[in-house]
Amino acid sequence: MDFNVKRLAADAGTFLSRAVQFTEEKLGQAEKTELDAHLENLLVRAENTKQWTERIMKQTEVLLQPNPNVRLEEFLYEKLEKKVPTRMNNHELLGQSMIESGNEFGPGTAYGNALIKCGETEKQIGGAEREFIQSAAINFLTPFRNFLEGDFKTILKERKLLQVKRLDLDAAKTRLKKARMADARAVAEQELRMTQSEFDRQAEITRLLLEGVSSTHAHHLRCLNDFVEAQTTYYAQCYQYMVDLQKQLGSFPSSFTNNNQSSVSGGASISVPTIPVSASLPSVSAGRGSSAASGGFSELRISNGSRKARVLYDYDAASSSELSLLADEVITVSSVPGMDSDWLMGERGNQKGKVPITYLELLN
């Protein structure tokens, strides 16, 4: 019990010392150790990454589920670790109503048959929308959420610890300045060396974590590519379904099709686009292995040769082992055995360093 009381008293004294140091810094009455410019820039970049990741996530969730009540319900089910009940989306509900009304009017009539065909197409679009939402949630929203709830929380924890170590260091500097007796100065100098060592160590830990944000950007870029691919597949499916439906409706008797055309001045009619879907849109059944990373980059790794590549975006090197890039410049890239699959070795004149493949486009 005596040991616990002493420990509690020591912790209370340390906390009081930090509080006094923090207050005096705010009042301009005490010296404050400033972080180096590189570390400050990394902190700003990490904070910006966090804020924009949250904003993109929020807007994506609104896009995937516009109904705020349904979003709230899904959030509660997720927190309770329960499965969200399956419900029909708007396209499926419309399709169901069309099919039921078509059966009521009679499948043998032109109108009833058309309603049934439209309803079946709406259900197909609803199924495609469900697949798109599921793909976007897994390949786009989940990695963003993992960064916010995992990596960034670790960064926050270490950043707060760095602030504590800085307060201890500055408090030790203040005590050394106030020490008059030789014994007191010796104790203060030893304490200063210890706090300086702890501060330097924590600054290095924080710096390494913050430099990892560059890898997060590269990973999120791959997730963005997956999201765009899922959207492209979804819209290609919807386009194909509607083109097929237009062709089916165009085969109905003229007495039926003219009902829609009579309200159009000049007798103009809606024509089916003549551009083949396969010529301008990706195949619905195409897999995700069609990205550049699984094509030219894979061949480059296998051949162990070098290729010219154009830089797509600016990239700031996060460490001395990486190479900074400028958009639209052309560099030489090659594969190094044992290197992570998301990186290549880049060369620009006498400069050499790792570069992320998501920022590159291989040239022929």
Look at residue 288 and tell me if it is in a domain: no
**Same-domain check for residues 147 and 212:** yes
**Same-domain check for residues 21 and 74:** no
| Structure confidence at residue 294 as a pLDDT band (50, 70, 90) | very low
**Residue indicated by tokens 């201890």:** 168
**Same-domain check for residues 22 and 143:** no
Beta bridge pairs of residue 201: none
DSSP per-residue codes, 194-243: HHHHHHHHHHHHHHHHHHTHHHHHHHHHHHHHHHHHHHHHHHHHHHHHHH
Please answer whether residues 323 and 348 qualify as being in contact, where contact means their C-beta atoms are separated by less than 8 angstroms: yes
**Same-domain check for residues 58 and 184:** yes
**Same-domain check for residues 247 and 301:** no
**Same-domain check for residues 236 and 302:** no
Look at residue 277 and tell me if it is in a domain: no
What domain range is 3 assigned to?
1-30
**Same-domain check for residues 21 and 110:** no
Please answer whether residues 95 and 121 qualify as being in contact, where contact means their C-beta atoms are separated by less than 8 angstroms: yes
Residue 262's pLDDT is what? 44
Look at residue 260 and tell me if it is in a domain: no
Query: What Cα–Cα distance (Å) separates residue 271 from each residue in 243, 244, 246?
Result: 10, 12, 8
Side-chain-side CA neighbours of residue 158 (13 Å)? 20
Residue 338's pLDDT is what? 80
Last residue of a domain, one of 214, 231, 251: 251
CATH code where residue 187 lies? 1.20.1270.60
For the segment 285-302, the average pLDDT, to the nearest whole number, is 58
Look at residue 268 and tell me if it is in a domain: no
For the record, the structure tokens of 30 come out as 């005490």
Provide the domain count of the chain. 3
What are the pLDDT digits (tens) for 59-109?
Answer: 999 999 887 877 777 777 777 777 777 788 899 999 999 999 999 999 888
Look at residue 353 and tell me if it is in a domain: yes
**Same-domain check for residues 200 and 314:** no
Task: Judge residue 317's burial from the number of C-beta atoms within 10 Å of its C-beta, 0-12 exposed, 13-18 middle, 19 or more buried.
Answer: middle
Look at residue 134 and tell me if it is in a domain: yes
What are the pLDDT digits (tens) for 139-153?
Answer: 999 999 999 999 999
Question: For residue 351, what is the enclosing H or E element?
Answer: strand 351-356
Please answer whether residues 189 and 176 qualify as being in contact, where contact means their C-beta atoms are separated by less than 8 angstroms: yes
More confident residue, 180 or 41: 41
**Same-domain check for residues 194 and 131:** yes
CATH code where residue 320 lies? 2.30.30.40
Please answer whether residues 61 and 141 qualify as being in contact, where contact means their C-beta atoms are separated by less than 8 angstroms: yes
**Same-domain check for residues 7 and 87:** no
Look at residue 202 and tell me if it is in a domain: yes
Give just the sign of the alpha carbon dihedral 299, 305, 309, 312. positive
Look at residue 321 and tell me if it is in a domain: yes
**Same-domain check for residues 312 and 167:** no
DSSP per-residue codes, 102-124: HHHH-TTSHHHHHHHHHHHHHHH
> What is the spatial distance between Cα 256 and Cα 261, in angstroms, rounded to a whole number?
10
Last residue of a domain, one of 251, 272, 287: 251
> What is the spatial distance between Cα 246 and Cα 266, in angstroms, rounded to a whole number?
21
**Same-domain check for residues 79 and 125:** yes
What are the pLDDT digits (tens) for 265-276?
Answer: 444 444 444 444
- At residue 320's C-alpha, the angle toward residues 317 and 326, to 5°, is 30
